[in-house]
Amino acid sequence: MPYVTVEMLEGRTDDQKKALIEKVTDAVVDTTGASREKVVVFVEEINKNHYGVGGKRLID
């Protein structure tokens, strides 16, 4: 049973997340031969307050 975790900054719509889950599932099925019903995709959204680049938070 393949498990895939996608971490990304918050702000995507539900439709975008739905499409992402569908396409990631397709990619796993196509490349591993796993059955579609066994592929698990987790979408973890990172709060922009908790993410920084170059010593600064993205929201600053």
Question: Active-site residues: which are they?
Answer: 2
Rounded distance between C-alpha atoms, residue 12 and residue 10, angstroms: 6
Evaluate whether 29 touches 39 at the Cβ level (below 8 Å). Answer: yes
Comparing CA positions, the residue from 14, 39, 17 lying closest to residue 6 is 17
